[in-house]
Copies of this chain bind each other. A is one copy, B any other.
Amino acid sequence: MDIKALRRAARKIFDAAVAAVDPAEAIRRHLRREGNSLRVGGQTLDLATIRQLLVVGLGKAGASMTSAVEEIVGDRITRGVVVTKYGHVQPTKTVRLHEAGHPVPDAAGMAGAQAILDCLRGATAADLLLVLISGGGSALTPAPVASIALEEKQALTRELLACGADIREMNTLRKHISRIKGGKLARAAAPARVVTLILSDIVGDPLDAIASGPTVPDPTTYADALGILDRYKIREAIPASIRTYLESGAAGKHPETPKPGDPVFAKVQNVMVASNIQALRAAEAESQRLGFTPLILSSFIEGETKEVARLHAALALEVRSSGLPVAPPVCFITGGETTVTLKGHGKGGRNQEFALAAAFDIAGLANVVVLSGGTDGTDGPTDAAGALADGETIARARALGLNPRAFLENNDSYNFFARLGDLLLTGPTRTNVMDVRLVLIG
């Protein structure tokens, strides 16, 4: 397969991956209706026996998830509110879309979180609540307990980031001062039946971490939260209102987050409707259809982008050198999400930087194409989803008078690929299951 065919194939494979995790498609696959019969997550519900059908949601894919739900059960929805990011709304029928700030939580988000809780008020055992969760849900719906102000919650986040706490530790703290996170939305909805439809944007799809698990049991405790503050010696540094609330909680004066086995979850079902591995499986199918031997290596890939790129290039080098592990045409497929340690002041994103870094290692190889793209269509602060590189990328850039190494060192991958015409441009896709990387060897 020549370089042009490989580039076309890479784009088709990426598009197939993204199409497979379209939120509306994903919901249609998992929420099936025939008359009054609604099949979801392995159970069949009789809509005729349901008194109220409520819909709440939080996350950047809120609008398209809402549209799909309305398309399927719109005639039965009593009321609903879904909080999504500014500018991410589209017309809906019954469910109200509520815009809020992301990634920095704001007052609109607090109002949105309150609207979600208000929507559930008075729910009974005869009611069904659909919860639509996608990436960004946590930041979009700040809901600190009454004694804690939004600014104080933000101050806590800054302290935790500064001391190097990891995401699990941050979530333990957040869940214990929130009225929604850590299973508390499930508690607020009880005794209604709850079905949560989840679009995962976190490596490994940990249910309790996506949007901080509003309808998922939380095994952590107030004591754990205080232990983290002590471990980092910041118990005295955080706002007094938070310290006081956690200490009272540990003393039994506030209810704990609902634990695994709590009756609150008796009628709660969490359903993963789309995740990174689904996108990779679609890429696998499409690449097979196009004549490649596909090989999904992992959806769990994290780490420094340049290093990850180097490892991907090593796959191409081996296939070109020995035909191992499989003879070409082969398509390696990986997912997850990498990070970029910024050193320069250029414009780019992790996917574009991946393609640029890989370009050096595959330079001169015949018929090798690398593509990396964010499934949300926006890689970092750019209008590109990612970029394509091949064995001629570095030479083509030099012929244009560009210094590829300087672009990489300045984290300026966007302008590099813009000059080459090799940006991956999809526009916003209204989904997000992290990234898809392809290494095609023809």
Contact = CB atoms under 8 A, between A and B. Distances in A.
Interface of A: 204, 277, 280, 295-304, 307-308, 310-311, 313-315, 317-318, 321-322, 324-325, 336
A280 B324 CA distance: 11
A277 B318 CA distance: 9
Given A308-B307, A322-B277, A314 B296 contact: no
B298 A315 contact: yes
17 contacts: A204-B317, A204-B321, A277-B324, A295-B325, A296-B324, A297-B314, A298-B315, A299-B318, A299-B321, A299-B322, A300-B318, A301-B314, A303-B307, A303-B311, A304-B307, A307-B308, A311-B311
A417 to B, nearest CB: 23
A433 B9 CA distance: 37
A320 B2 CA distance: 36
Contacts of A311: 298, 301, 303, 307-308, 311
A299 B323 CA distance: 12
Copy total for this chain: 2
A324 B283 CA distance: 13
Contact of A296 (B303, B307, B325): B325
Contacts of A304: 304, 307
A165 to B, nearest CB: 13
Given A204-B317, A204-B321, A317-B204, A303 B310 contact: yes
A405 to B, nearest CB: 11
B298 A318 contact: yes
A295 B293 CA distance: 14
A415 to B, nearest CB: 24
A274 to B, nearest CB: 15
Contacts of A314: 297-298, 300-302, 336
A264 to B, nearest CB: 27
A304 to B, nearest CB: 5
A323 to B, nearest CB: 10
Given A302-B310, A302-B314, 19 more contacts: A277-B321, A277-B322, A277-B324, A296-B318, A296-B325, A297-B297, A297-B318, A298-B315, A298-B318, A299-B318, A300-B313, A300-B314, A300-B318, A300-B321, A301-B314, A303-B307, A304-B307, A307-B311, A308-B311
Contacts of A280: 324
A301 B311 CA distance: 6
A416 B432 CA distance: 40
A303 B303 CA distance: 12
Contacts of A303: 307, 310-311
Contacts of A308: 307, 311
Nearest to A309: B303
A336 to B, nearest CB: 7
A298 B318 CA distance: 5
A295 B310 CA distance: 19
Contacts of A310: 302-303
A153 B24 CA distance: 67
Contacts of A321: 204, 277, 299-300
Nearest to A333: B325
Nearest to A307: B307
Contacts of A324: 277, 280, 296
Contacts of A296: 318, 324-325
